[in-house]
Amino acid sequence: MVRSKYCSLKDKNTSKRIDVKECKFAQGSYFIIGLGEKVIVAQERMTTNFVYVFDKNEQSRYSWQAEIRSSLDGLNRPPSQFSVKICKKNVLAKNNLGGLITARIPYIKIDVPFVILFRAFDIISDKDIMD
């Protein structure tokens, strides 16, 4: 592993490393195997059944986004993903839809306004929506 105690260039100074075409900015922690560089990359997986909330950047049309990946214990299926997004007020100002909250649910390919979901699941009445 480059820059480890087993590296053949460990005790050489910077000028000798440059002579053997080793980059002086190389951080190390990669392997040279058969004249090729190999890197071990750690991969992280988001925990299921936990809500993650993200503050979106300036270029995004959303100001906030929340995601949850749901899975049932004991089933060998990929987790379902549900996300909720809040549109920035200035993005949809021409349609007077600023601050619109949308949801992305499994098996539906478009973002659905949250009000429609509340009505579809009979959580809120039409009168309450209009108020």
CA dist 120 and 20 (Å) reads 68
pLDDT at position 51: 92
Percent of the chain with pLDDT over 70: 73
Query: The dihedral of CA 26, 30, 31, 34: what is its sign?
Result: negative
User: Which residues are bridge partners to 68 per DSSP?
Assistant: 51, 82
Domains in the chain: ranges and CATH? 1-42 (no CATH), 51-130 (3.90.1110.10)
pLDDT at position 53: 92
Q: What is the pLDDT of residues 43-65, one digit of tens each?
A: 787 788 899 998 887 777 788 88
